[in-house]
Structure 1
Amino acid sequence: MSAHVEAEDLEQQPLQTGNSTNYGASLSQPQENDIKHPSLRVRRNLIAITVICLILGAVGLYVSRFIPSTDIIQAYYDDATKIKIHSISYEGWDSEPQEVHSIKKGVFALKEGDSYKYLKLRAKVGVQFDHDQALAISNSSTDARRKKAFLKFSSQSLVRTLCFDLNNMKAYNDNATASLGLGSVRIPQTVCVDLRANKTTELDLPIVVYPDTENIASVIIKIWKRKFHELNLWSSFDVTLSKWGLPIGRVLIPRLDWNELFDWRQVQSYVDEMQDILKEPIKVDDLEITDSDEAVNFHIATSYTCPERFKDILTAQKNSVIPPMSWKVRMPGCDGSEPIFLQNADFQTPSIPVKVLFSPGPTAINITGQIYGPLPDELLYQVCDSDEENVVTPINLFLKNVFNSTESVKFDISGHHADRTNNSIVPKCFLDEILPSILQEIHANLTLNSDQLVEQVSIDGMKLKWVQRGWDEKNLEVKGKVNILVNLPYYSAAHSKGQETVSIKKIKGLTKVFHNDVHFVSVPMDVWLNAESEIVKSEEQIQLRVSFDIAGQNVVVEDKIELTKCLNEILVKGQAQVYVEGKLDLMMDTKLGSIVLLGLKGDGNTVIRT
């Protein structure tokens, strides 16, 4: 029991620090003389670390004077970067379903049906950095120039090459009131460039564009019309930078003006080249005109050889189709500065497979058109020039070139709309935005000469008679009926509702008569004479047989001796063979209105009888 009490007493006793047992081992008591101080070696290390930190801090403070801000970096590389576009090839349009497109936040959209369209391009460009040019710009402070020098040193000696991934780029155009979004651009590959001075990095870049149809169409038209001063293009960038395959940072550029990157003179040169190609005369192989109850119908067969420049752009699109399109026509006015719009005309170009366009030799393109009702009064009756005999109108000037095989016919076409077709090289919704703004001058050569219009001129029952005018004056008069055979080139049908749609109602001009190859008399017709005409149709062509009476017309004697020989031959033989040459003006009535053909030449043989 005593043992139990003793144990219990021990449990209830407080622990004594000084005399407590530790499993049979006594605790060591601290003594002042045993405290250890840092060794000399440790103190030296601490001092060295402190000095190094101070040096690094000082170096950091010094170097921080050279580290440029984001604005200075952007401005520097804007000034140093030179981009030369070698070529841009068109790789067509592709689509993605709505659920895929909706994942891409903030991406512009071109919706067609249940999918979204995006454009694929390929650009071959050269990128070069001219650091001396960036340093030479003098509108910088001393501090900024120091930091630019640091950028040059870093680019040349430290970084040397840099890679980036374009996460997203959005393009805008500022007008007078707002910034209009043009589209989003992605480059689906990492791009690496050499930052060293005057080292050119040649890049072959696939580019994916998600366009805003309406806004980008207006920019394309301004570029095509060379209105670069009306463009204020800029972009925002989201770029990830990398070195040796390791990401080193992400750069967000809120605004970068395109004028600082692109040389618009190069773009204009490219546009000029394209337009010069389109201005090359189009050869018209055949033209067929048919009158119907509703309209005058045109079928134009042309041949077109695609320039190699276009083939380079569209190489990847051999399985695509240029869709059928509808066009409006503007005819030239008096001086070409005031064109006349044919509101009642509509012309269509067919669908053309790109692989056919790329085939060796010219490609046949059949164009159809309709003109409903008469031509505008401005085209038919506006006075461009006049003299004592004739009034020249815009249609006269146009036909003058039509009937001159050495001249090209010029007119303008403007887009109207596109028809839907499979594998279209451009989506219909995009074409419908662009086409109404397209206005292109066309040159065409019809290879027709006015000498081919009047096939034959003859005078039936031609007689020469002296008529007494007063006591001592006699005038020579001619009698007879002039017959003219006029070709109607390109017409295959000139009837509507059982009626002839082409006729000649009036005629004037000058007829020369030759005997023995000597021009001896002229028959001037200075005023319009009534004429009759009828259509003569053969398997080869349609002609108009025109006749009018010249009874009582005065004759101008050009050679009295030859006139006497001719009259003597008539007295002796009862007739004389003569050659007739006419230069005539014809007033034609057509479904398009009254059209005057000036200066048509024709000739033929006839007989003068007693």
Structure 2
Amino acid sequence: MSTEDLEQRPLQPEQQANYGATSSQSEAKYHKRYPYRPLMALITVIMVLFSLAGCVLYLRRFIPSQEAVRQYYEDVTKINIHSVSYEGWYSENATESELWMGDTTISKDGEKVRKYLKLRTTAGVQFDHELATSRLSNDTAYSDRQKKMIRFFSQKILKTVCFELNSMTAFNDNSTATQALGSVSIPQTVCLDLRANQKTELDFPIIIHPDAQNVASVIIKIWKRKFQELNLWSKFDITLTKWGYSLGKINIDRLNWNDFLNWGRLKSYVEEVHSFFEQPMEVDNMEFSDNDKAVDFRVAISYTLPTQLSGLFRFEENATIPSTFWKVRMPGCIGSDPILLENAVFWTPTLLIRDFYQNSNPVLLNISGRVHGPLPDELLYQVCDSDEENVVTPINLFLNRMFNATETVQFDIIGHTSGHSTHTIVPKAMLDEILSKLSQPVQANLTLNADQLVEQVSINGMKLKWVQKGWDDKKLTMMGEVISMVNIPFYNSANAGGKTTMSIQKIKGRTKLFHNDVHFVTIPMDVWTPADSEILPTNDPKRNILRVSFDIADKDVEVVDRLELTRCLNEVLVKGQAEVFVEGNLDLMVDTRLGSIVLLGLEGDGTTIVKK
């Protein structure tokens, strides 16, 4: 073979033909020995998949569902709320869909603002897994294996878990509908120890967006002790996390508050407050004064906050209760409806919460009021009782109790509205809603006796003489001017401007005369007699004396002891005069800006001189 032929031949390995023949023969032998291997592999895969599916289906019978997990932890969880601290109300912009939630106001920029409450709660949480034994074993929806699996997974695998509250809404089921009370959020992750009876102490903030009207309705039911009308519950969803990884979400459609709220403790607080209000209030001071066409009142009372309340809530140093305005309902005749003073309003000042908790001494509360006269006709003129001499009206009954130190006056206060205050613990809209549904009976002891009203009774120019009334009938008559000094209790004349705003128009009653400590003459005044009155000048505007006078010229008198009468007249003839002790029981018809008020049975005494 020539060199040229060698150069044109392709480069091929010398044993190419042999390798090709060998490979071809091997493949042929392989296919001939294992013709069904691909089919067997496919069958094997299918059998494995079916086995896995069977295992999953079998295990699924024992894997607890989300509902089982929810019910389990609802049964075994114990929550004890230690304290609730108030941190204030804040504002945020509210969308139209959110305006139903709570107290909305208008900011200076014209934007609608929603109020939300920030609290801080300390609580203890623990899980008593033994409780699941009795509760779940009787429930066909949960098997013992599911219970044991949850318990094992909680105590041995997870041990601790954290959760984030995504959303929560509180409700109350009343007799007709479900009321939404507001939404709640916890702006931090909360971690719990799931192991048996390992208590986790928590301290976390709570943000509440309340519905003012519905929350007020619940508060009123609690205040009126209508706990049977409360069915509080919540729905919420939480995200569980462990080691920073999400374990999924749990939706709880209904969590009854009865499962964790200590109603017994709350009831004891309410009972203690009610007991506090049912005790008669001691009035330290009271005064009324003139104001244009109205009469202003100021009442000072002192009270001590019930001790149990001081340990339940905690407030900021500058937290306040806004001023509140009240209507008053006076008692009518016995067995009749009370009478509302529509033309009167009373109010309390803004109160600092710290005064209730930090001061061990009684707290002084000044209550102010304004009454535009006159008082209702039902209060002034409704006849409760009558006899030949007197007609008793509701105002008479009230004043008689007021001037008797052994009795208390009773009336009802009705919530009206509230004022504005910074750092208030209750927004105005919610407080107004609460006040509109609040009515409370009140008892008060003014510690004033009626015998302190008439300071002195005397008779000026008193003369006694016998007058022939017939052939054989003589009557003892009296001449003179009866003078009574009437103390006006509680009245402050500083704003009167020197004008008399009250006067005594008429007087009646009975006056007894004593000589040598012997009752010898009675002066009857069974019908109303016109009288003159004037307020005496005084340097102390809080001490005001009303001088009342009326003439008794030729007034017939009743002789009680003729012998003592003779001794008195003889003393006048011999000495020119005799000292007589006067004791009066008077009824006064007082004209005031509030209307004509009759004061019955006022007692007073003094001495006078009988002359020739």
Per the alignment, residue 372 of structure 2 pairs with: 372
Q: Return the offset for 1:77.
A: 5.1
Alignment equivalent of 2:595, drawn from 587, 590, 593: 593
Query: Any idea what SS the aligned residue of 2:421 has?
Result: coil
Would you say the 8 A contact 2:136–2:144 is kept in 1? Answer: no
Matched, 1:352 2:340: no
- Please give the alpha-carbon distance, in whole angstroms, between the structure 2 residues aligned to 1:539 and 1:351: 33
Matched, 1:393 2:418: no
Q: Return the offset for 1:183.
A: 0.8
Per the alignment, residue 104 of structure 2 pairs with: 111
Comparing 416-425 and 536-545, the one that deviates more: 416-425
Would you say the 8 A contact 2:513–2:522 is kept in 1? Answer: yes
Alignment equivalent of 1:29, drawn from 26, 29, 35: 26
Query: Any idea what SS the aligned residue of 1:290 has?
Result: strand
Matched, 1:267 2:266: yes
- Please give the alpha-carbon distance, in whole angstroms, between the structure 1 residues aligned to 2:600 and 2:142: 75
Q: Return the offset for 1:448.
A: 2.5
Per the alignment, residue 91 of structure 1 pairs with: 87
Query: Any idea what SS the aligned residue of 1:317 has?
Result: coil
Identity, % of aligned pairs?
A: 52
Per the alignment, residue 542 of structure 1 pairs with: 544
Would you say the 8 A contact 2:72–2:147 is kept in 1? Answer: no
Per the alignment, residue 178 of structure 2 pairs with: 179
Would you say the 8 A contact 1:327–1:347 is kept in 2? Answer: yes
Query: Any idea what SS the aligned residue of 1:568 has?
Result: helix
Matched, 1:581 2:583: yes
Would you say the 8 A contact 1:291–1:493 is kept in 2? Answer: yes
Q: Return the offset for 1:592.
A: 0.3
Q: Which amino acid aligns with 2:557?
A: V
Change (3 A) 1:294 1:105: closer
Normalised by the length of structure 2, the TM-score is 0.80
Matches within 5 A, 1:500-539: 500-539=500-539
Matches within 5 A, 1:270-309: 270-309=269-308
- Please give the alpha-carbon distance, in whole angstroms, between the structure 2 residues aligned to 1:488 and 1:362: 29
Alignment equivalent of 2:119, drawn from 110, 118, 121: 121
Would you say the 8 A contact 1:290–1:298 is kept in 2? Answer: yes
Per the alignment, residue 562 of structure 1 pairs with: 564
In the alignment, structure 1 segments of 5+ residues that lack a partner are: 11-17, 38-45
Query: Any idea what SS the aligned residue of 2:315 has?
Result: helix
Change (3 A) 1:214 1:572: same
Change (3 A) 1:357 1:256: closer
- Please give the alpha-carbon distance, in whole angstroms, between the structure 2 residues aligned to 1:198 and 1:391: 74
Per the alignment, residue 214 of structure 1 pairs with: 213
Query: Any idea what SS the aligned residue of 1:29 has?
Result: helix
Matched, 1:451 2:448: no
Q: Which amino acid aligns with 1:111?
A: T
Change (3 A) 1:339 1:163: farther
Q: Return the offset for 1:178.
A: 4.1
Query: Any idea what SS the aligned residue of 1:448 has?
Result: coil
Per the alignment, residue 15 of structure 1 pairs with: none
Per the alignment, residue 38 of structure 2 pairs with: none
Q: Which amino acid aligns with 1:232?
A: N
Q: Return the offset for 1:538.
A: 0.6
Change (3 A) 1:302 1:266: closer
The alignment covers a number of residue pairs equal to 588
Query: Any idea what SS the aligned residue of 1:500 has?
Result: coil
Q: Return the offset for 1:116.
A: 3.1
- Please give the alpha-carbon distance, in whole angstroms, between the structure 1 residues aligned to 2:551 and 2:74: 83
Normalised by the length of structure 1, the TM-score is 0.81
- Please give the alpha-carbon distance, in whole angstroms, between the structure 2 residues aligned to 1:139 and 1:463: 103
- Please give the alpha-carbon distance, in whole angstroms, between the structure 2 residues aligned to 1:207 and 1:555: 81
Name the Cα RMSD after superposition: 4.4
- Please give the alpha-carbon distance, in whole angstroms, between the structure 1 residues aligned to 2:357 and 2:278: 19
- Please give the alpha-carbon distance, in whole angstroms, between the structure 1 residues aligned to 2:279 and 2:244: 51
- Please give the alpha-carbon distance, in whole angstroms, between the structure 1 residues aligned to 2:137 and 2:382: 59
Per the alignment, residue 326 of structure 1 pairs with: 325
Change (3 A) 1:129 1:469: farther
- Please give the alpha-carbon distance, in whole angstroms, between the structure 2 residues aligned to 1:292 and 1:306: 34
Per the alignment, residue 436 of structure 2 pairs with: 436
Q: After superposition, what is the alpha-carbon deviation per residue over 1:500-520, rounded to whole angstroms, capped at 9, x for unaligned?
A: 321111222222222222333
- Please give the alpha-carbon distance, in whole angstroms, between the structure 2 residues aligned to 1:6 and 1:144: 86
Would you say the 8 A contact 1:348–1:368 is kept in 2? Answer: yes
Q: Return the offset for 1:294.
A: 2.6
- Please give the alpha-carbon distance, in whole angstroms, between the structure 1 residues aligned to 2:136 and 2:465: 96
Per the alignment, residue 383 of structure 1 pairs with: 383
Q: After superposition, what is the alpha-carbon deviation per residue over 1:466-525, rounded to whole angstroms, capped at 9, x for unaligned?
A: 445555554444333211111112222398798632111122222222222233333333
- Please give the alpha-carbon distance, in whole angstroms, between the structure 2 residues aligned to 1:355 and 1:538: 41
Q: Return the offset for 1:212.
A: 1.7
Comparing 179-188 and 279-288, the one that deviates more: 279-288
Q: After superposition, what is the alpha-carbon deviation per residue over 1:349-400, rounded to whole angstroms, capped at 9, x for unaligned?
A: 3333444565634555444322112011121122333344333222222222
